[in-house]
Copies of this chain bind each other. A is one copy, B any other.
Amino acid sequence: MWKPDRKNDQPLYQQIADDLERRISYGEFPPGSLLPSERKLAEQLGVNRSTVILAYAELRAIGIIESRTGSGTRVSKFKWGATPKHTPNWHRYVEGGSFLPNVPFLRRIREALQQDKTLIDFASGELASDLAPAQEINRLMEESSRTEYFGYDNPQGFVPLREALVSFLGKYRGIQTSASSILITSGSQQSLYLITQCLLAPGDAVAIEDPSYCYSLPMFQSAGLRLFRLPVDHKGVRPEDVRALYKKHRIKMVFLNPNFQNPTGRLLDPNRRSELLEVASELGLPIVEDDPFSLTAYDGVPPLPLKSDAPTSVLYIGSFSKIAASGLRVGWMVAPHSVVDRLSDARQQMDFGLSVVPQNLAAQFLMSPYIQPHLERLRMNLLYKRDLVIEALRNELRDLVSFTVPQGGLHLWCKIIPEVNDNKLLEEAIRNGVIFVPGSVYGSDSGFVRFTFARPKADEIVSGISKFAAALRSVLG
């Protein structure tokens, strides 16, 4: 984002006015549109509010913008040519589409992280730069720069990547499959999206875990699905709940993240796992198994996926995001042929397939000698960070929080024992220089916090939890 230059001879307010005028003339703020409030713009630009007031006054003086008390500052309508021109009412278009906006807390978190790069980040559900195999990927990039053709790729995904996944999934996940049963996607996210768009129709009932990552996805609502909850207790979901939901609502699909679940970190109990597979098979009910975390199992023994015991009932979803690099955007789905066919056809309409470059890198990485040592190092480091966050929480907030110690994954799911307002706590934490995700994003009651201890660097964890503790104490008053 543009910021005024304090070393420039022009006064700050003039620089800001010039930049706004330029952006208005480029169509970024069309005639009639609302400009940011003075306070907000001041925050974004890192200047005093009075500087923005001066800049707005300048633009008002030349007739480019208009302010009215109570309705904010807008771009003037009739300054853009001799005859009155009409700009499309973009606001109406933006509000009118059928796709729902993201959960407000998530938008707030994204905004805060963009505005303040110094925030200690327990919110982004991904690895820190010191856990990702950046060096390895860079080396592979250097070596693999001999691509001969960069044309449209196979809609199902780059063949060498699918072939590398066949052996990877066999070796690491106990899944026997073939390249023609794999669809490459832009992370698990796109797998979930394709399933909701292409295999379900508005009005269909589906079951999701509660709490669950899926609650943070308006995608389910945009697709017009009816959502029913499967409460997650210390052993995961209860198979009898699945049966009950089927009886009552004829659910058409079950979405599960059985291993080191996001956000709770819970592992589906082995007995429940077998029972669940029996229920699914008895009812002919498909399970979507979202499995991004299993390979982080701290003891080095990843739990087996449902898919390995129920190849025909499970749509299996995996991703590089939580074990290597979320920015590569490489994920995969293992599914019956007809499903893979249908989804790869549909995604031609959406994005015409994934870029070949990251797919090639992912294939190289899976086939390289780097993968095994990387996963070992990753597990060790996650365990170390988990212990850091737990110790810090015990030191700082012993009687105020409770949690179950996770055995894998990137997150700690933490209950705040006294009653607390999620929104106040989040805002106070941001002011204190730390950020997390309020549990209600995942459909839980308020008073839970998800700490992604994988994301901050190791040396930020203790001070991050201190800042969080100070915020909590201040909110509790």
Q: Please report A residues at the B interface, Cβ cutoff 8 Å.
A: 1-2, 22-23, 25-31, 33, 80, 85-91, 93-94, 96-99, 101-102, 107, 110, 114, 124, 126-127, 129, 132, 134, 137-139, 141-142, 144-155, 176-181, 185-187, 189-190, 193, 197-202, 217-219, 222-223, 252, 281-286, 311-314, 321, 324-330, 334-339, 341-342, 345-346, 348-358, 361
Contacts and interface: CB of A to CB of B under 8 A. Distances in A.
Contact of A338 (B94, B134, B147, B218): B94
Contacts of A1: 179-180
B88 A181 contact: no
Given A25-B311, A150-B326, 9 more contacts: A26-B176, A27-B334, A28-B177, A28-B181, A33-B337, A98-B201, A127-B151, A134-B149, A327-B357
A123 B253 CA distance: 38
B31 A312 contact: yes
Of listed A97, A129, A138, A334, residue having the most chain B CB within 10 A:
A97
25 contacts: A1-B179, A1-B180, A26-B181, A28-B177, A28-B178, A29-B336, A29-B337, A86-B281, A86-B284, A88-B284, A94-B338, A101-B346, A102-B345, A139-B145, A149-B327, A150-B327, A152-B326, A186-B353, A217-B349, A327-B355, A327-B356, A328-B356, A330-B355, A350-B350, A357-B361
A31 B284 CA distance: 11
A90 B338 contact: yes
A290 B314 CA distance: 40
Given A30-B336, A94-B339, A129 B141 contact: no
A313 to B, nearest CB: 6
A70 B129 CA distance: 59
Interface of A is mostly: loop
Contacts of A312: 27, 30-31, 80, 87-88
Nearest to A130: B149
A88 B23 contact: no
B352 A151 contact: no
Closest 6 CB pairs of A and B: A27-B311, A86-B284, A150-B325, A186-B351, A141-B145, A88-B286
B25 A155 contact: no
Given A150-B325, A353-B329, A27 B286 contact: no
Given A25-B176, A142-B145, A199-B96, A328 B355 contact: yes
Nearest to A88: B286
Given A147-B134, A311-B27, A99 B349 contact: yes
Contacts of A154: 114
Contacts of A25: 176, 311
A154 B198 CA distance: 27
Contacts of A33: 336-338
B178 A150 contact: no
Nearest to A1: B180
B176 A150 contact: no
Q: Which of A129, A198, A218, A286: most chain B Cβ within 10 A?
A: A198
Contacts of A80: 312
Nearest to A287: B88
Contact of A325 (B151, B177, B281): B151
Contact of A339 (B93, B138, B190, B252): B93
A378 to B, nearest CB: 14
Contacts of A129: 148-149, 151
B352 A93 contact: no
Nearest to A107: B345
Nearest to A101: B345
B86 A190 contact: no
A100 B23 CA distance: 39
A222 B98 CA distance: 12
User: Which of A1, A180, A345, A349: most chain B CB closer than 10 A?
Assistant: A349
A22 B339 CA distance: 18
